[in-house]
Amino acid sequence: MQKKPTFRYQRIRDIREDNGYLQQDIADMLGLYLNTYRRYETGERTIPVNLLRKLSKIYNVSLDYLTEIEEEIKH
């Protein structure tokens, strides 16, 4: 059985924490309400590509790194 690829939202949280930012810090940098950003980080909402681009610039990482997809394959 093959599972559909899923976006690893925890990567967004992990990189934020690794860089010493609070959710409010990033929400402010992106011009978002805290609750909106929190929903992106937990996967309750899909992160638009334009925000992913901004995050990649904030963290100085590639868009590919932020959007790495996790696949689970069961045989």
CATH of the domain at 33: 1.10.260.40
Find the radius of gyration of the CA atoms of the chain. Answer: 13
Q: Please count the structural domains in the chain.
A: 1
What span, in angstroms and rounded, lies between the C-alpha atoms of 71 and 50? 24
Average pLDDT by consecutive 10-residue portion of the chain (75 residues)? Answer: 60 94 98 97 91 95 79 47
- Asked whether residue 1 is domain-assigned, the answer is no
- Asked whether residue 29 is domain-assigned, the answer is yes
- Asked whether residue 64 is domain-assigned, the answer is yes
pTM (predicted TM-score)? 0.79
- Asked whether residue 50 is domain-assigned, the answer is yes
- Asked whether residue 75 is domain-assigned, the answer is no
